[in-house]
């Protein structure tokens, strides 16, 4: 038989039990304090009533001129009138002898004691019953004695017992109600958790299309469900991207591999004895190996761009200096091109970006500009400051991109003219890499183009603070 352990209990019963215990403890503390406050208030009321009776007796005796013990004996009728139920009143002389005594259901034998110097209020148990004993000194010019009142706390005890029973019954009812309420709350909470678990199991067994129906309530569980749905959307989108990436990469690799395989087969059959076929096949193979090498390098660049983490203490750099250096390198690589730089940036402005990443962005944009501008060989680079960004725009005078294609140019392996791009050695990853890098720095990349007139790609890089 397994021992009872809290960790073996379901969450629903844990919540039910804990909520019931919490409500019970709260109710117990509240009723305990309430019980004792009411009890003390009732005792104070009993004492006030006794003090008022003593004051009335003293006032009556004070109005008597030359008060004597005979007058006190004759005041029995007044004492009976002032006396309440479950109470005894008596007057004692200076030696402790009873001069007059009246009782109304409070017969009690009190042992004699000395005359008090001031009012005394004591609590006693007589025959298992609780009494309040009030003793007040009686002093006039002719009489010295003591007024005593003994009061049985019968009504007080009845009220306290009734209050205790009521509180106990309410406490039991509250416990039962809180247990049911706790179970309902736990069932509602755990029910949604169970829905979440079932959805996870469906996703595991049937695919990633399943989502949770989020209730209209605006609580933490609803937020959790919405976050789960959003997370699953992102995961599904990532898987779709990964699937598309693998398919595109496979397609891009398939073509050069097929070409290599065809030329190797051609060499094997006729290339050994035919110099023309040998030269053609080797040239084609070299070209395709170069394309494969570029594809692999760009895939590595894309992977690195996705894994970029930007440190908080990155050193600001001067964008002008980096741009001038990259443009100078392109002058050397492409001497027949004209590279024009328009710089309206204050020399003191710095950007929050690693120098290597800015160089990589510029290489991608300038390489594309040169690649697709074989007719009008001019590339313009503009640098300016716009609010919290430094804007770097690269404009070419090339073939341009149709308007309906602009939204797709940042997708991996996307090329507007696949045949022309393959001739120029493009694989469609450059702008995808650029977007990954600029997004990591909380920047923006936009493109504007007109067919036959050229393309402008604009980078917005955050300024350093």
Secondary structure string (H, E, C) spanning the chain:
CCCCCHHHCCHHHHHHHHHHHHHHHHHHHHHHHHHHHHHHHHHHHHHHHHHHHHHHHHHHHHCCCCCCHHHHHCCHHHHHHHCCCCEEEEEEECCCCEEEEEEECCCCCCCCCCCCCCCEEEEEEECCEEEEEEEEEEECCCCEEEEEEEEECHHHHHHHHHHHHHHHHHHHHHHHHHHHHHHHHHHHHHHHHHHHHHHHHHHHHHCCCCCCCCCCCCCHHHHHHHHHHHHHHHHHHHHHHHHHHHHHHHHHHHHHHHHHHHHHHHHHHHHCCCHHHHHHHHHHHHHHHHHHHHHHHHHHHHHHHHCCCCCCCCCCECHHHHHHHHHHHHHHHCCCCEEEEEECCCCCCCECCCHHHHHHHHHHHHHHHHHCCCCEEEEEEEEEEECCEEEEEEEEECCCCCHHHHHHCCCCCCCCCHHHHHHCCCCCCHHHHHHHHHHHCCCEEEEEEECCCEEEEEEEEEECC
Residue 237 has pLDDT above 80, yes or no: no
Asked if the model's pLDDT at residue 107 lies above 80, the reply is: no
Rounded CA separation 159/89 (Å): 24
113-127, 197-211, 265-279, 327-341: range with highest mean pLDDT = 327-341
Tell whether the model's pLDDT for residue 78 goes beyond 80: yes
- Spatial strand order in the sheet of 389-397: 338-343, 376-386, 389-397, 454-462, 444-450
What is the torsional sign of CA 423, 424, 425, 428? negative
Structure tokens at 147: 């007024």
pLDDT at 403: 86
Q: What is the mean pLDDT of the chain?
A: 81
Burial environment of residue 75 by CB neighbours within 10 A (0 to 12, 13 to 18, 19 or more): buried
Judge whether 229-306 and 319-462 match in fold: no
Contact 452, 401 (CB under 8 A): no
pTM: 0.49
- State the pLDDT confidence band at 458, using cuts at 50, 70 and 90: very high
Mention the CATH class of domain 319-462. alpha beta
The answer to whether 362 and 320 are in contact (CB under 8 A) is no
Half-sphere exposure of 448 (CA within 13 A, CB side): 6
What is the mean pLDDT of the segment spanning 363-370? 89
- Rounded to an integer, what distance in angstroms lies between the CA atom of residue 145 and that of residue 279? 144
Is the pLDDT at 424 greater than 60? The verdict is no
Backbone dihedral region of 127: left (phi > 0), alpha (psi from -120 to 50 degrees) or beta?
Answer: left
pLDDT at position 3 is 47
Domain ranges, ordered by start, for the chain: 11-160, 229-306, 319-462
Would you state the CATH architecture of domain 11-160?
Answer: 2-Layer Sandwich (3.30)
Is the model's pLDDT at 420 over the cut of 50? Answer: no
Placement of tokens 């510029």 in the chain:
362
Q: Closest by alpha carbon to 258, among 282, 283, 285?
A: 285
Q: What is the pLDDT of residues 21-77, one digit of tens each?
A: 777 788 888 888 888 898 899 989 989 999 999 999 988 888 888 888 888 888 888
pLDDT in tens, 109-162: 666 667 788 888 888 887 778 888 899 998 888 888 899 998 888 888 888 889
170-181 confidence digits (pLDDT tens)? 888 877 887 777
How far is it between the farthest Cα atoms of the chain?
Answer: 161
Of 65-69, 84-88, 210-214, the one with minimum mean pLDDT is: 210-214
The CATH architecture assigned to 229-306 reads Orthogonal Bundle (1.10)
Phi, psi of 452 (to 5 degrees): 85, -10
Percent of the chain with pLDDT over 70: 85
The reported pLDDT for the residue numbered 362 is: 92
The pLDDT value recorded for residue 4 is: 46
Of 262 and 418, the one with more pLDDT: 262
Identify which has the larger pLDDT, 101 or 236: 101
Predicted local confidence at residue 271, as pLDDT? 62
């Amino acid at each position: 038989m397994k021992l009872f352990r809290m960790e073996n209990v379901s969450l629903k019963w844990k919540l039910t039990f804990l909520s019931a215990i919490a409500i019970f403890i709260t109710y117990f503390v509240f009723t305990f304090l309430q019980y004792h406050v009411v009890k003390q208030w009732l005792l104070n009321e009993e004492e006030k009533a006794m003090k008022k009776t003593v004051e009335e007796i003293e006032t009556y005796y004070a109005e008597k001129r030359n008060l004597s013990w005979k007058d006190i004996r004759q005041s029995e009728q007044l004492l009976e009138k002032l006396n309440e139920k479950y109470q005894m009143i008596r007057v004692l002389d200076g030696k402790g002898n009873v001069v007059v005594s009246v009782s109304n259901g409070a017969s009690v034998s009190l042992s004699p004691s000395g005359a008090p110097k001031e009012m005394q209020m004591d609590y006693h148990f007589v025959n298992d019953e609780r009494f309040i004993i009030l003793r007040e000194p009686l002093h006039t010019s002719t009489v010295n004695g003591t007024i005593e009142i003994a009061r049985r706390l019968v009504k007080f005890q009845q009220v306290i017992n009734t209050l205790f029973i009521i509180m106990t019954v309410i406490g039991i009812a509250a416990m039962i109600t809180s247990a049911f309420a706790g179970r309902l709350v736990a069932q509602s909470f755990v029910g949604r958790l169970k829905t979440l678990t079932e959805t996870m199991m469906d996703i595991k067994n049937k695919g990633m299309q399943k989502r949770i129906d989020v209730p209209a309530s605006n609580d933490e569980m609803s937020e959790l469900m919405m976050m789960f749905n959003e997370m699953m959307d992102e995961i599904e989108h990532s898987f779709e991207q990964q699937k598309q990436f693998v398919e595109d990469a496979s397609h891009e690799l398939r073509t050069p591999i097929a070409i290599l395989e065809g030329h190797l087969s051609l060499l094997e059959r006729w290339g050994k004895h035919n110099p023309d076929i040998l030269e053609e096949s080797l040239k084609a193979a070299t070209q395709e190996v170069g394309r494969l090498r570029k594809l692999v390098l760009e895939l590595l660049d894309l992977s690195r761009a996705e894994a970029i983490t930007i440190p908080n203490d990155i050193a600001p750099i001067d964008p002008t200096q980096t741009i001038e250096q990259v443009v100078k390198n392109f002058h050397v690589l492409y001497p027949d091109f004209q590279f024009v730089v328009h710089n309206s940036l204050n020399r003191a402005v710095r950007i929050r970006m690693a120098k290597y990443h800015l160089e990589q962005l510029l290489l991608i944009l300038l390489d594309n500009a040169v690649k697709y501008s074989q007719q009008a060989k001019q590339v313009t680079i503009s640098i300016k400051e716009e609010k919290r960004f430094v804007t770097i725009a690269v404009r070419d005078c090339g073939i341009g991109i149709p308007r309906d294609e602009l939204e797709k140019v940042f997708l991996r392996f996307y090329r507007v003219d696949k045949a022309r791009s393959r001739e120029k050695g493009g694989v469609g990853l450059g702008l995808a890499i650029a977007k990954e890098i600029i997004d990591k720095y909380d920047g923006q990349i936009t493109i504007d183009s007109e067919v036959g007139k050229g393309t402008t790609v604009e980078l917005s890089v955050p300024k350093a603070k």
